[in-house]
């Protein structure tokens, strides 16, 4: 879940603070975070002051009892929702009334229209641009009483070629958070590419038992090409480099 800035500890949280907090959570993480990340959301809220501690705990109870899922069903009135929160979460009527007000405004028709317009904007933006992914890693080759230090790096520029394959790869991410940003999508693919490069580089360095590797010869661009073919990208450019040390004693 993408972290957001919570209301400060030096004052009591207002209903407007909590409305803004929940709205921003959904904007950045999608609706699912309210049910899957309840305790993480609770951890973000200030709890030093008595009211803040009480409201953070009350909000956690509503999340654990799936009140947001119920509120998303149309037709709720404040009184009915207040009674539901009071009964399901065993909260005082005053607290239940305040939370009912918060949820009804967060899940207002205006916000739903905004969320519908925002849906998959990040995916569309990601598909329209070229993206730079930089990678570097190190590995060590050992033989008897010496070793060789190897380092490699690459700057790789990719572009979406097949949107359907990109969407298929991101299916679970888009379902969990349809508001995912282009930057977060890039981070998701970049982590996969960097992990693949690091695995391949380590295997390259360790490939020969008695002959030291030459890191300068590691073909990071070939790994990048394979990655692009797998996921539906076009490789725009790839610049690689590497360094290999002399033999270094192990003592």
> Pairing between strand 248-249 and 233-244?
unpaired
Rounded-to-integer distance, Cα 63 and Cα 184, Å: 25
The length of the chain in residues reads 251
Q: Average pLDDT of the chain?
A: 95
Return the percentage of the chain with pLDDT > 70, whole number.
Answer: 99
Residue 73: what pLDDT? Answer: 80
Rounded-to-integer distance, Cα 174 and Cα 107, Å: 20
Numbers of helices and strands, H then E, in the chain:
13, 4
Residue 6: what pLDDT? Answer: 73
Half-sphere exposure of 29 (CA within 13 A, CB side): 19
What are the residue ranges spanned by the domains of the chain?
A: 15-118, 124-249
Residue 111: what pLDDT? Answer: 95
Rounded-to-integer distance, Cα 231 and Cα 187, Å: 15
Does residue 38 contact residue 64 with C-beta atoms inside 8 Å?
yes
**Is the pLDDT assigned to residue 189 strictly greater than 90?**
yes
Distance between the two ends of the chain, CA-based, in angstroms? 45
Q: Report pLDDT digits (tens) over 204-245.
A: 999 999 999 999 999 999 999 999 999 999 999 999 999 999
Whole-number Cα distances in Å, 22 to 28, 98, 99, 192: 10, 14, 11, 31
Residue 93: what pLDDT? Answer: 95
Helix-helix angle 182-205:220-231, to 10 degrees: 130
Q: Report pLDDT digits (tens) over 17-48.
A: 999 999 999 999 999 999 999 999 999 999 99
Rounded-to-integer distance, Cα 154 and Cα 58, Å: 50
Residue in the block written with tokens 């119920």: 70
Q: Report pLDDT digits (tens) over 110-137.
A: 999 999 999 999 999 999 999 999 999 9
What architecture is the 124-249 domain classified under in CATH?
2-Layer Sandwich (3.30)
15-24 in b/e form (b: 16+ CB < 10 A) is eebbbbbbbe
Rounded-to-integer distance, Cα 133 and Cα 238, Å: 10
Q: Report pLDDT digits (tens) over 95-108.
A: 999 999 999 999 99
**Is the pLDDT assigned to residue 5 strictly greater than 80?**
no
Find the Cα–Cα–Cα–Cα dihedral 169, 173, 174, 177, rounded to 10°.
Answer: -170
Q: Report pLDDT digits (tens) over 143-183.
A: 999 999 999 999 999 999 999 999 999 999 999 999 999 99
The residues, ordered by sequence, that sit 6+ positions from 72 with a Cβ below 8 Å of its Cβ are 31, 107
Residue 133: what pLDDT? Answer: 98
What is this structure's pTM? 0.89
């Amino acid at each position: 879940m993408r972290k957001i800035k919570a209301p400060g500890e030096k004052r009591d949280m207002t209903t407007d603070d909590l409305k803004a907090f929940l709205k921003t959570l959904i904007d950045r993480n999608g609706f699912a975070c309210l049910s899957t990340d309840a305790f993480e959301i609770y951890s973000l809220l200030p709890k030093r002051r008595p009211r803040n501690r009480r409201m953070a705990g009350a909000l956690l109870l509503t999340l654990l009892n799936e009140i947001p899922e119920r509120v998303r069903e149309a037709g709720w009135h404040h009184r009915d929702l207040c009674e539901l929160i009071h009964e399901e979460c065993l909260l005082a009527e005053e607290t239940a009334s305040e939370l009912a007000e918060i949820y009804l405004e967060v899940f207002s028709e205006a916000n739903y229209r905004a969320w519908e317009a925002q849906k998959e904007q990040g995916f569309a933006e990601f598909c329209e641009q070229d993206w730079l992914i930089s990678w570097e890693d190190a590995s060590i080759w050992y033989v008897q009483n010496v070793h060789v230090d190897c380092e490699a790096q690459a700057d790789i520029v990719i572009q979406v070629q097949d949107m359907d394959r990109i969407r298929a790869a991101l299916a679970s991410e888009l379902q969990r958070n349809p508001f995912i940003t282009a930057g977060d999508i890039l981070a998701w693919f970049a982590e996969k590419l960097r992990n693949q490069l690091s695995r391949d580089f380590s295997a390259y360095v360790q490939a020969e038992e008695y002959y030291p590797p030459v890191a300068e010869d590691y073909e990071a661009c070939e790994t990048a090409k394979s990655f692009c073919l797998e996921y539906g990208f076009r490789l725009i450019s790839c610049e690689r480099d590497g360094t290999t040390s002399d033999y270094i004693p192990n003592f």
